[in-house]
Structure 1
Amino acid sequence: MRKLGLIIGLVLFISCTANRKAVDIVSASGLKQSNFQTIVDGKKTSLFILKNKNKMEVCLTNFGGRIVSIMVPDKDGKMRDVVLGFDSIQDYIKYPTDFGASIGRYANRINKGKITIDGVNYQLPQNNYGHCLHGGFKGFQYQVYDAKQINDQKIEFSYLSKDLEQGFPGNLTCKVTFSLTDDNAIDIQYEASTDKTTIVNMTNHSYFNLDGDPSCLNTDYLLTINADSYTPVDSTFMTTGEILPVEGTDMDFRVSTAVGARINNYSFRQLKNGNGYDHNWVLNTKEDITRKCASLKSPKTGIVLDVYTNEPGIQVYTGNFLHGTLHGKKGIVYKQRAAVCLETQKYPDSPNKPEWPSAILKPGEKYFSHCIFRFSTNK
């Protein structure tokens, strides 16, 4: 009988242990960790959760180094998820998007995908109106980063982009560090080094919906951009090489203005060319991380997003090409202009415009880019 009791006890122990292992981790935003666990290109993917003392939560996946959800309090203390994304890794794979991704090697567009470095011509993928956009057909947003969670509020994603991956020269070793601070900020730091002269320009491509309801559009959001000028684009979304003043134009957001106040004024050529706002602003902040470069506010929820960066520019994109064909988290359809992207970076096509801030990285040098998304409420 004693032997039988021991056997029964062992079986129960094994059963309980198996059940504990089978328990799924569910985030405050409703994401299941198991839905993000798979193998992509021979590497494991998962969902990682950061939390601070204020119960703010940020969920990320190492597939594309993406922010999947951000839970922040609104003016009444209700927690809201303020970014677009999907409920599972399979949807990220099935529906190629930039939702929340750590973009590289080069965020934004490069004219006709052509660059010349040290006298050598390189042809990059032409994946957007004949230009190279966000690193090509398989930029960093479709790669699996190695993940190292440092603690409850910090995670590091690292990736080795091999020489001539998507046509870019040099073995580029890069790291993206996300830190969730106790003042409700997401501090993002990008680092990279190379063994051959190359170009690098990384950013985060989160789609912010500060209502926490993607069925609501961004037209009432109040946007402020600390910039006196911008870089206009042609009908293929490529920068013309000009830097023009915002004064007296629909590009002037130096004073807080509703995103939708002028967005459909297609008699203004730039809004027609961009199908809305999809432009780079030349920041007044002089690459000073302590100076606010942009701010976005939802009058409905009172949620405010302030942006800081050491980069010279910010691309503001108003979700113009969301067509209502994608079902995101909780099955919600993402319609046109359901969000706003605030991408801190070098100017588009800088490698072909030597008079603009350089995106060149040489062996022995360190690339460092810094962006802070700080959330607060305004009643």
Structure 2
Amino acid sequence: MTSITRELFGTLKDGRTVQRYTLTNRKGTTASFVDYGAAWMSFQRPGDTESLVLGCDTIDALTTQSAFLGSTVGRYANRIAGGQCTLNGQPIQLDCNEGKNHLHGGRDNFTHKIWTAELSETNEGYPKLRFRVRSDDGENGFPGNVEARVSIVLTDDDEVQFEYEANTDAPTIFAMTNHVYFNLDGRLQGNLDNHEFRIGADQFVDVDDTAIPTGELIPVADTEFNLQAWTAIDETLRTLPTDRLKRAGGYDHCFCYPDDGELRELGSALSTTNGVMMSCLSDQPGLQFYSGNFLGGTPYADGLSYQQFGAFCMEPGAWPDSPNQETFPSVLLKPDETYYSRIVYAFTAL
């Protein structure tokens, strides 16, 4: 029997409450989310000793961590150089919250909002959670009043399916994703030593020492970014053998796919310890692969924190700095359009 439940997660300092929602499928697999940031907090199958998703155990950890743990990020997921771009011939200055650049929507981003939740089920009887939030015109410099929505379904095949939608009343730039962190051996294992990765892309976005694109797409062939076959990266993370990896502190790069709206596998990860495989599918043209370079010290409970390289992210979405790169896929959202994207995280046991 499937179910979806709600319980109090904690109370913010201003008195507002944060709720946790747990989806359960017919196998007994659970996926939990909180309405603060519409964040994915856990994923656990029967037999798993701990969650395969990194979340927070306390309200203080949730509200003080800066790693975007499981959060729905926007209005623009990824970086924009100098927080500047031009829209319809008019210059726009966005909030700069990563040095001189804009990251994941700015300081007052979707991560720090309490989303309105609706509980239901699909025609197949799968539990469904729908979050929505409003972002006002001018927030963090973005034009237009925007309503954003994300629907989340847990299937009996252990797929967590996301559908993102948004509308605006003025032309704006927009791109959402989920910033979930995975460790397929369990969230507290602290390293990726027993993981292998596969990313089928032929190219990745070249970036400078501030993670802003140079405008060049680099073939993965004969580079450390060739993950087209199953590849372990633990030794690479320990040694950071190239300048590109040293600049980023590990992997934090966008792999490029066709911008054709087709749902396809963008990347997969495999635990060589327990045989769990997670496949990431999306209709988006980019996959930001992040190896938890700055995860160390991120709190999950009182006095407890995650470790550097203790998890990975596969974030489908727009390419970084797309508003300033003429050859990159467009991120323009108009009033007569509805933003739509899909992400599926599928878990299987080999």
TM bracket, shorter-chain basis: over 0.9
Name the CA distance, whole Å, in 2 between partners of 1:265 and 1:118. Answer: 45
**1:299, CA displacement in angstroms?**
0.9
**1:374, CA displacement in angstroms?**
0.4
Identity %: 35
1:315–1:124 distance in 2 versus 1, CA, 3 Å: same
Counterpart position of 1:219:
193
Counterpart position of 2:69:
99
Name the CA distance, whole Å, in 2 between partners of 1:264 and 1:283. Answer: 28
Q: Does 2:302 match 1:340?
A: no
Q: RMSD of the alignment, in Å? A: 2.2
Q: Does 2:125 match 1:126?
A: no
Asked whether the equivalents of residues 85 and 329 of structure 1 are also in contact (C-alpha less than 8 Å), the reply is: no
Q: Does 2:240 match 1:270?
A: no
| Aligned AA (2:234) | G
Name the CA distance, whole Å, in 1 between partners of 2:171 and 2:162. Answer: 25
1:130–1:371 distance in 2 versus 1, CA, 3 Å: same
Aligned match of 2:38 in 42, 65, 72? Answer: 65
Q: Deviations over 1:79-102 (max 9, x none)?
A: 530111211223211333300000
**1:274, CA displacement in angstroms?**
1.1
Name the CA distance, whole Å, in 2 between partners of 1:79 and 1:320. Answer: 25
Counterpart position of 2:111:
141
Asked whether the equivalents of residues 131 and 151 of structure 2 are also in contact (C-alpha less than 8 Å), the reply is: yes
Q: Does 2:137 match 1:163?
A: yes
| Aligned AA (2:171) | T
The structure number with the bigger radius of gyration is: 1
* TM superposition score normalised by structure 1: 0.86
Asked whether the equivalents of residues 68 and 83 of structure 1 are also in contact (C-alpha less than 8 Å), the reply is: yes
Aligned match of 2:284 in 295, 311, 315? Answer: 311
| Aligned AA (1:348) | P
Asked whether the equivalents of residues 102 and 202 of structure 1 are also in contact (C-alpha less than 8 Å), the reply is: yes
The alignment covers a number of residue pairs equal to 344
Counterpart position of 2:22:
49
Counterpart position of 1:320:
293
Counterpart position of 2:79:
109
Name the CA distance, whole Å, in 1 between partners of 2:336 and 2:54. Answer: 38
Asked whether the equivalents of residues 190 and 308 of structure 2 are also in contact (C-alpha less than 8 Å), the reply is: no
Q: Deviations over 1:220-270 (max 9, x none)?
A: 311000100000111111111110100000000000101224234544221
Asked whether the equivalents of residues 259 and 329 of structure 2 are also in contact (C-alpha less than 8 Å), the reply is: no
Instruction: Give the secondary-structure state (helix, strand or coil) at the position aligned to 2:44.
Output: strand
1:157–1:107 distance in 2 versus 1, CA, 3 Å: same
Aligned match of 2:339 in 348, 351, 367? Answer: 367
What does 1:177-256 correspond to in 2, within 5 Å? 177-256=151-230
| Aligned AA (2:86) | T
**1:330, CA displacement in angstroms?**
8.8
**1:125, CA displacement in angstroms?**
1.2
Q: Does 2:56 match 1:86?
A: yes
Q: Deviations over 1:50-92 (max 9, x none)?
A: 010011101100100000111125xxx4453011121122321
Q: Which moved more, 1:84-93 or 1:258-267?
A: 258-267
Q: Deviations over 1:1-42 (max 9, x none)?
A: xxxxxxxxxxxxxxxxxxxxxxxxxx9xxx9933x1435767
1:287–1:222 distance in 2 versus 1, CA, 3 Å: farther
| Aligned AA (1:366) | T
Which structure is higher in helix share? 1
Counterpart position of 1:23:
none
Name the CA distance, whole Å, in 2 between partners of 1:44 and 1:158. Answer: 16
Instruction: Give the secondary-structure state (helix, strand or coil) at the position aligned to 2:133.
Output: strand
Asked whether the equivalents of residues 265 and 271 of structure 1 are also in contact (C-alpha less than 8 Å), the reply is: no
Structure 1: runs of 5 or more not aligned: 1-26
1:267–1:87 distance in 2 versus 1, CA, 3 Å: closer
1:79–1:283 distance in 2 versus 1, CA, 3 Å: farther
Name the CA distance, whole Å, in 2 between partners of 1:163 and 1:43. Answer: 24
Name the CA distance, whole Å, in 2 between partners of 1:314 and 1:287. Answer: 14
Instruction: Give the secondary-structure state (helix, strand or coil) at the position aligned to 1:231.
Output: strand
Name the CA distance, whole Å, in 1 between partners of 2:66 and 2:218. Answer: 33
Structure 2: runs of 5 or more not aligned: none
Name the CA distance, whole Å, in 2 between partners of 1:110 and 1:232. Answer: 14
Asked whether the equivalents of residues 77 and 176 of structure 2 are also in contact (C-alpha less than 8 Å), the reply is: yes
